Structure 1
Amino acid sequence: MELDLSILLILAAVSLLAGFIDTLAGGGGLLTLPALMLAGLSPVQALATNKLQGTFGSGMAAFTLWRRRRFRIADVRRAFLASLIGSALGTILVQVMHTDILEILVPVVLVIIALYFLFSKGAGQVERAPRVSDKTYERALVPGIGFYDGFFGPGTGSFFALVEVALRGRDLITATARAKALNFASNIASLALFIAGGKVLWATGAVMVAGQLLGARLGAHAVIGGGARLIRPLIVVVCVAMLARYLVTTLGSGA
């Protein structure tokens, strides 16, 4: 499938903005996935190609934040593997199972995330004692979110950040940095399976990768420069936007 140059340029611009937003708050797929569908890709092709550009974006963000010493590889090594395994299982199962239950569950979780960051003013400002153990975090929470990313996807970065702040006691900048590393892991696993199935449109994906790389790099520097005052409201806005999208989709399908 070949797209016109004008459409490819629009997709590149959308992916740049999505890469910036995704690095700070997650939810960049809110922009890129609908854009790919409007460009004429089938749902599976759109998901696969979106995962390609998203993988490069999360990888660039994670690499930039690692170089700026916002997290250490040794600290996320086990969680990285757990996210990868969870995502692989989710990607496999989504091909044989229905996602109806998530259509109900995800909006509820988005409301919880938005309310948490909106009203918990002190959350993420300083490091606190963790509320869950390393084993629970690495063996249940991280692979669970990774599974969700492979199975469904929207808001994964926000979910990782919420767990890091609310349950692991991280400051918001560290939580965001670690979330990008774990999101990169879940993207890798899912992308590998989409590639194996021959679902990725490489030319379209390559154009969007270029936009994602620039957007993610800019977003990573914004995380460092803007801090919690920029990340917190953006997470709330992204969660509300995703919730609105779910409601519109549900009402539209029920009409």
Structure 2
Amino acid sequence: MFDFTLLACAAFLAGLVDAVVGGGGLIQIPAIFAVFPKEVPATLLGTNKLASMCGTVVAAAKYTRRVNVAWSTAAPAAVSAFLFACVGAFAVTRVPGDFVRSLLPLILLAVAVYTFKKKDFGSIHAPLHSGMKERWLAMGVGAAIGFYDGFFGPGTGSFLLFLFVRFFGFDFLGASAAAKVVNVACNVSALLWFGYSGHLIWKLAGLMAVCQIGGSLIGTRLALKHGSGFVRKLFLVVVSVLIVKTAYDTVRHLGF
């Protein structure tokens, strides 16, 4: 009973954070692995994906009603992410993710330093691309993030947020809205593979999904109320925590 209560609380908090800046996996994945240390990793990741998908769908729906989503960017990225997330989910059931694990803290550190140094980063919504260039770039971003999300996952929403601001000129609120659309595609695709291959604990996923939805509703409301400045600050906090967490995991995994 205590274990399920712990995971319910973790899912709620993950949904709240994920709705604003992504990074909910930082909370939810370690919690579910801690409670079920002997379970097959792919099964825990599949269970996490179902809960995350429910929270992300709710967040995406609320964003699309209140924010003008750049569909010319979000739609191609979502299609590409859907295809490649399935490839990533297949890969994680076949090969270890040690190389990605070791690189992640360095990539996140670069993201944090860049965002911190550029004080006006993500404060103005000024799209940089249009036409075929926008679509191809969006598909490239979707493919890379989709594969990463299916294969490994932590920080996917935060990476999407950063990339939409950096390469497409969105403000943080607009980027968060677009990121949610792409994240839904990632989650659905990866979930299809995990479900097909039997890597799901359905009852636990259902409980965590309900809590994720509750957290997402509150997180989305906070983001819409306080705007891009609030999203930027929380983004930096979440990325900083991700750096520490992933660096610690990498060092421990390597046996130092």
Range into which the TM-score falls when normalised by the shorter chain: over 0.9
Aligned to 2:15: 19
Aligned to 1:174: 174
Aligned to 2:203: 203
CA deviations over 1:137-179 (Å, ceiling 9, x no partner): 2331221111110111111111111111111001110001100
**Residue 115 of structure 1 contacts residue 236 of structure 1 at CA under 8 Å; is this kept in 2?**
no
**Residue 72 of structure 2 contacts residue 134 of structure 2 at CA under 8 Å; is this kept in 1?**
no
Classify 1:106/1:136 alpha carbon distance in 2 versus 1 (closer, same or farther; 3 Å): farther
**Residue 19 of structure 2 contacts residue 220 of structure 2 at CA under 8 Å; is this kept in 1?**
yes
Find the aligned partners of 1:160 and 1:70 in 2 and give their Cα distance.
17
Classify 1:69/1:237 alpha carbon distance in 2 versus 1 (closer, same or farther; 3 Å): closer
**Residue 70 of structure 1 contacts residue 173 of structure 1 at CA under 8 Å; is this kept in 2?**
no
TM-score (norm 1): 0.92
**Residue 122 of structure 2 contacts residue 171 of structure 2 at CA under 8 Å; is this kept in 1?**
yes
Aligned to 2:122: 124
Aligned to 1:216: 216
Aligned to 1:186: 186
| Cα RMSD (Å) | 1.8
C-alpha displacement at 1:97, in angstroms?
2.5
Is 1:103 the equivalent of 2:101?
Answer: yes
3-state SS, counterpart of residue 147 of structure 1: helix
The aligned amino acid for 2:95 is: M
C-alpha displacement at 1:184, in angstroms?
0.8
The aligned amino acid for 1:24 is: V
**Residue 128 of structure 1 contacts residue 170 of structure 1 at CA under 8 Å; is this kept in 2?**
yes
The aligned amino acid for 2:46 is: A
C-alpha displacement at 1:72, in angstroms?
5.7
Is 1:31 the equivalent of 2:27?
Answer: yes
**Residue 117 of structure 1 contacts residue 235 of structure 1 at CA under 8 Å; is this kept in 2?**
no
Classify 1:56/1:247 alpha carbon distance in 2 versus 1 (closer, same or farther; 3 Å): same
The aligned amino acid for 1:192 is: L
Identity of aligned residues (%): 30
C-alpha displacement at 1:96, in angstroms?
2.1
Is 1:238 the equivalent of 2:234?
Answer: no
Candidates 110, 113, 118, aligned match of 1:112:
110
Find the aligned partners of 2:70 and 2:166 in 1 and give their Cα distance.
20
C-alpha displacement at 1:121, in angstroms?
1.0
Find the aligned partners of 1:224 and 1:47 in 2 and give their Cα distance.
29
CA deviations over 1:54-112 (Å, ceiling 9, x no partner): 11111111011112234165653222111101211111122223322212321121012
Classify 1:75/1:103 alpha carbon distance in 2 versus 1 (closer, same or farther; 3 Å): closer
> How many correspondences in the alignment?
251
TM-score (norm 2): 0.92
The aligned amino acid for 2:164 is: E
**Residue 72 of structure 2 contacts residue 135 of structure 2 at CA under 8 Å; is this kept in 1?**
no
Find the aligned partners of 2:125 and 2:250 in 1 and give their Cα distance.
39
Aligned to 1:93: 91
Find the aligned partners of 1:49 and 1:97 in 2 and give their Cα distance.
19
The aligned amino acid for 2:212 is: Q
C-alpha displacement at 1:183, in angstroms?
0.7
Find the aligned partners of 2:71 and 2:184 in 1 and give their Cα distance.
13
Structure 1 unaligned segments of length 5 or more: list them.
Answer: none
C-alpha displacement at 1:9, in angstroms?
2.2
Structure 2 unaligned segments of length 5 or more: list them.
Answer: none
**Residue 90 of structure 1 contacts residue 146 of structure 1 at CA under 8 Å; is this kept in 2?**
yes
**Residue 123 of structure 1 contacts residue 165 of structure 1 at CA under 8 Å; is this kept in 2?**
yes
Find the aligned partners of 2:212 and 2:163 in 1 and give their Cα distance.
25
